[in-house]
Amino acid sequence: MVLSDHAAQKTLKAAIGCRGVGLHSGAKVGMQLLPAAPDTGIVFRRDGAEIPALWTNVVDSTLNTTLSNGEGVRIGTIEHLLAALSGCEVDNAVVELDGPEVPIMDGSAEPFVFLIECAGLVQQDAPRRAIKVLRPITVAEGSKSASLLPQDGFSMTVEIDFDSRAIRRQNIDLVLDAATFKAEIARARTFGFLHEVDRMRAAGLARGGSLENAVVVSGDTVLNEGGLRYADEFVRHKVLDAIGDLALAGAPIIGHFRGVRSGHALNRRVLEALFATPDAWCWTTMGAAPAAETWAPSELRASA
């Protein structure tokens, strides 16, 4: 069977790696991205343990997304790398780490996109499946919410609102593909507030954070030399985070994501709510027009 580029699964042509610091642990970490067979998905490997990148393996959503194998092995801050792999349409890869976190690099997904492009991609002889949203699913917590809505393709609307004149209310609406991700989202860096640093470090967080890997806001001022990469870099980074979190569905999503002040926890909860509602989704094959749909919902790939 000959599959079109969009309809076929992809993996890396070659292994590639980098070293960096963990944003929250402050530990130095080495990472290798390795090719993987069709239907592997994205799998993290540390200390001999393998953890599939699935929402069912999330154990912490405090200022990052952390996975665990349930036996003590944890891998944190996975969202930026997952966003890069998803944005570059990498379906199968093994991520080997010698530390507790994915290195933060410059706080964006751009360094990971660079690694993926340097390694190159190869098309695999297997169809690319996706998860099609069939009816609206919403989870909420006070004024915060995350929704998945039926729609052809994949698009996102994200809104944030912070009590800082450097940020205030920002919103963005994008139709996502590989080119748009690279140009409009990948370079957006994580951000934080100077007055929260001591509290976060006392809680064991942000120990590797600096002006080299995060946008830091003090009062109403951005402290980073050179300022922002986008005028609305803050909301674009929230889009980046959501792309990474939604990659934990285990396959591309066909639908529209709407996040209102949502974060890692709500992003995970909306996936949980989707898969808990059998008639709200189905498997579909990418590249068909219209897509060939399997109307009887099935188990997640990693659980099959």
CA–CA gap between residue 226 and residue 64 (Å, rounded): 26
* 3 state DSSP class of 177: coil
Is 264 a known active-site residue? Answer: yes
Q: Which of 9, 155, 188 is nearest to 89 (CA)?
A: 9
Are 233 and 188 in contact, with CB atoms under 8 Å apart? yes
Tokens coding 289 = 């027009």
- Mapped onto helix, strand or coil, the DSSP state of residue 8 is strand
Q: Which of 24, 237, 256, 264 is catalytic?
A: 264
Q: Which two tokens stand for residue 107?
A: 């706080």
**3-class DSSP assignment, residue 92:** strand
Q: Within 10 A of 102 (CB to CB), how many other CB atoms are there?
A: 26
Among residues 195, 25, 42, 33, the alpha carbon closest in space to that of 104 is found at 25
- Continuous H helices in 185-276: 197-202, 233-246, 264-275
DSSP strand pairing (66-68 vs 74-75): antiparallel
Rounded CA gap, 74 and 99, in Å?
Answer: 9
Distance CA 146, CA 137 (A): 8
**For helices 233-246 and 79-87, angle between their N-to-C axes, nearest 10 degrees:** 80
Count Cα neighbours of 78 within 13 Å in the Cβ-side half-sphere.
Answer: 33
Cα(20)–Cα(194) distance, integer angstroms: 22
Catalytically active residues, by annotation: 264
